[in-house]
A and B are shown apart, each in its own frame.
Chain A
Amino acid sequence: MTWLWVILSVVSGTLGDVFSARGMSMRGEIVDFRLGGLARVLHYIVTHRLVMLGIGCNALSFGSFLAVLSLAPLSFAVPATALNFILKTLLAKWYLREDVSWHRWAGVALVAAGILMISF
């Protein structure tokens, strides 16, 4: 049962960030940081289906992560977030078509390894 919550947390967390990033990149770069400009960004966020789907997936991920925490120790739950980094980078390359260089992969691998280390 615990593993099901872990899988749900990892998959929904990964999809959440990927959908959010895709939805926001469709808008175009933010250049107006006056109050009106920021209000337009906020309006875009709450009315864009892909961005809201991403936020919903992240909320589901957070809820299932709390469920994992209630069933297993933190040292079991935290390594799942390391896996998140790897999956998000893979989807960034394949789905978002980002150019992930070996330099960037090495950085992501170090971040994931560091997260594994802090969970012990």
Chain B
Amino acid sequence: MAATVTRRRVLPRVKNRIFLLLVIFSNTFGNCLLAMGMQRMPDFLGTPFSRYLLFLITNPWMLSGTALLALWLFSQLSMFTWADLSYVLPVTASGYMVTALLSKFVLDEHISALRWAGIVVITFGSMLVSQTPMRTKAEWRERDR
């Protein structure tokens, strides 16, 4: 009996953490792959449209980036079946930190001090929201009882 109760309390939290990581990393790595893919695309205005389209759908960076963004959409929509919108969005905003790290170390972009400060502020905001209950709707509270 006690094991069942513990399992019922622990499993949702583990599932939630796994999906948070999935949402954050699929979005940031997906965007990073798309950015890398766009750097390898020919000039849009100087290339016939059909040829540009062919480059686009055969570019492995663009394809893998698109697949990761599809995974991001699916995992975020899945989270809405057990967590509040006002919980999911700010908590997954901590992905800005991952994006900044990828921009700096993978794409070799310059990030100013003010931008780093902004990323730290976003991360604090995300951490603050992550301390609140993930589901607060009255209908869910009834179901949880």
Contact = CB atoms under 8 A, between A and B. Distances in A.
Interface residues of B, number: 39
B125 A97 contact: no
A67 interface: no
B128 A103 contact: yes
Per DSSP, are chain B's interface residues mostly helix, strand or loop, or mixed?
A: helix
Contact of B86 (A25, A29, A104, A120): A104
B90 interface: yes
B98 interface: no
Interface of B: 73-74, 77-78, 80-82, 84-90, 93, 96, 112, 114-115, 117-132, 136-138, 140
Given A21-B80, A97-B137, A120-B112, 6 more contacts: A27-B81, A93-B86, A103-B132, A104-B132, A115-B118, A117-B117
| Shortest 6 CB-CB contacts between residues of A and residues of B | A117-B118, A110-B125, A114-B122, A107-B129, A107-B128, A114-B121
Interface of A: 17-18, 20-21, 24-25, 27-30, 41-42, 45, 51, 55, 85, 88-89, 92-93, 96-101, 103-104, 106-120
18 contacts: A28-B81, A29-B82, A30-B78, A89-B86, A89-B90, A96-B85, A98-B87, A100-B136, A101-B136, A107-B126, A107-B130, A108-B86, A108-B125, A110-B128, A113-B125, A114-B119, A117-B115, A118-B119
